[in-house]
Amino acid sequence: MRNRYSNLDDVQNKNSFNDMLKWMKERRSKIKDLTIQIPQSPTKKINELKANNSKTSFTWIGHSTFFIQMNGVNILTDPVWAKRMGFQKRLTAPGIALEDMPDIDIVVISHGHYDHLDFPTLKKLKGNPHYFVPIGLGASFFKKGFHRVKEMGWWESTVYRGLTIHFVPAQHWTRRTLSDINTSHWGGWIFQHERGTHYFVGDTGYFRGFKEIAAKFEIDTVLMPIGAYEPEWFMAVSHISPEDSVQAFIELQAKKFIPMHYGAYRLADDTGPEALERLLKEWEKRELPPELLRVLLIGETIFES
């Protein structure tokens, strides 16, 4: 029998088929403006990224895909360059074309949902990456011909070229076929080096795990999801709202917030601009310093020393 994984406190997504029908009925009654999208950065720093072997950098490719450079290591989070997600076309192009990307050293996968794990994308990556994946997901990689794969469970750590990589909890679920629901785990990834500790949250609802993570790590930068939360009665267990993402940031005591998981695919009823507007309103309401929030354009890069 295959293992089935669960959330902290056994929190479950209990939405039924009838709940799905209710959501679809609600969706038909909503009018959303999909003509306004998250803009692309007017300048792409591709040559600088290819030449960089010392500075820390963050480049938002789109959705939950970031290109991160730390200590001369090139990292990709949840690489997805897919032009469609199910029946939906991608709303915004990836910030850097796949063929223009540098060689990749590390790929981390937060969980097995298709908007976070796209094997056609992985087969086209340059370099010969090491893949770090949640426990239970390794077999899928081996079947697809990937062999430099390390499975990790919550709170496990490993070291790669001077970086310590930690797999930490999230509140979510996963499924790729009719029979494999929750047969692999889900979570976030923390990259730790003497010059900084950076946390890729992955996909999550709001949960007590943020406080536990804060007790173990001093987070410099958190890459935090803010989209796919509407309708909240259906999504809240698995997808954090913009308001709760700010609460999570406060609990993490992090130094910088970079939002993600919005604007590329229409996975729920909210739009990318709506998610960002709610985030900015909550940030102002909480009277948080504006310099702690760094909203990236698609394809934008920020460098740290």
The set of residues, in sequence order, having a beta carbon less than 8 Å from that of 10 and lying 6+ positions away, is none
Mean pLDDT of the chain: 95
Does some domain include residue 35? no
pLDDT at 221 over 90: yes
What mean pLDDT comes out for the span 75-79?
98
Q: How many domains are there within the chain?
A: 1
pLDDT in tens, 144-183: 999 999 999 999 999 999 999 999 999 999 999 988 999 9
What is the per-residue pLDDT for 50? Answer: 95
Over residues 267-293, the pLDDT tens digits come to 999 999 999 999 999 999 999 999 999
What's the confidence (pLDDT) of residue 20? 87
- Mean pLDDT value across residues 110-134: 98
State the pLDDT at residue 111: 98
pLDDT band at 79 (very low <50, low <70, confident <90, very high): very high
Q: What is the pLDDT of residue 250?
A: 98
Residue 88 pLDDT class (50, 70, 90 cuts):
confident
Q: What is the 3-state secondary structure (H, E, C) of the chain?
A: CCCCCCCHHHCCCCCCHHHHHHHHHHHHHCCCCCCCCCCECCCCCHHHHHHCCCCEEEEEEECCEEEEEECCEEEEECCCCCCEECCEECCCCCCCCHHHCCCCCEEECCCCCCCCCCHHHHHCCCCCCEEEEECCCHHHHHHCCCCCEEEECCCCEEEECCEEEEEECCCCCCCCCCCCCCCCCCCEEEEEECCEEEEECCCCCCCCHHHHHHHHCCCCEEEEECCCCCCHHHHCCCCCCHHHHHHHHHHHCCCEEEEECCCCCCCCCCCHHHHHHHHHHHHHHCCCCHHHECCCCECCEEEEC
Quick one: what percent of the chain has pLDDT higher than 90? Answer: 88
Domain annotation covers residue 11 = no
Query: Per-residue confidence at 13, pLDDT binned at 50, 70, 90?
Result: confident
Is the model's pLDDT at 59 over the cut of 80? yes
Distance CA 160, CA 131 (A): 11
Question: How far is the C-alpha of 288 from the C-alpha of 303, rounded, in Å?
Answer: 23
The predicted pLDDT at position 31 comes to: 84
Residue 44 counted as domain residue: yes
Task: Answer yes or no: is 32 within a domain.
Answer: no
Contact 272, 37 (CB under 8 A): yes
Residues 88-119 as b/e (b if ≥16 CB within 10 A, e otherwise) read: eebbbbbbbeeeebbebbbbbbbbbbebbbbe
Give me the residues paired with residue 151 across strands.
133
What is the bridge-based pairing of β-strands 88-89 and 65-70?
unpaired
Residue 129 lies in a domain: yes
For residues 292-302, average pLDDT:
98
Domain span including residue 156:
40-304
Report the DSSP beta bridge partners of residue 57. Answer: 69, 303
Q: pLDDT at residue 305 above 80? A: no
Q: Whole-model pTM?
A: 0.96
- For residues 121-137, average pLDDT: 98
Instruction: Output the pLDDT for position 15.
Output: 87
- pLDDT recorded at residue 118: 98
Of 29-38, 41-50, 150-159, the one with minimum mean pLDDT is 29-38
Task: Give the tokens for residue 295.
Answer: 């909203």
Residue 98: inside a domain: yes
Q: Which residues of 245-264 are buried (b: 16+ CB within 10 A; e: fewer)?
A: bbebbebbebebbbbbbbbb
Residue 25 lies in a domain: no
User: What number is the average pLDDT over the span 222-234?
Assistant: 95
Dihedral of CA atoms 175, 179, 185, 187 in degrees, nearest 10, equals 10
Q: In this structure, is residue 14 part of a structural domain? A: no
Task: Over range 12-31, report the average pLDDT.
Answer: 86
Per the omega criterion (within 30 degrees of 0), is the bond before 231 cis? Answer: yes
Handedness of CA 59, 60, 61, 66 (dihedral sign): positive
pLDDT at 1: 66
Which are the contacts of 16, defined by CB distance < 8 A and separation ≥ 6?
Answer: none
Residue 60 belongs to a domain with what CATH number?
3.60.15.10
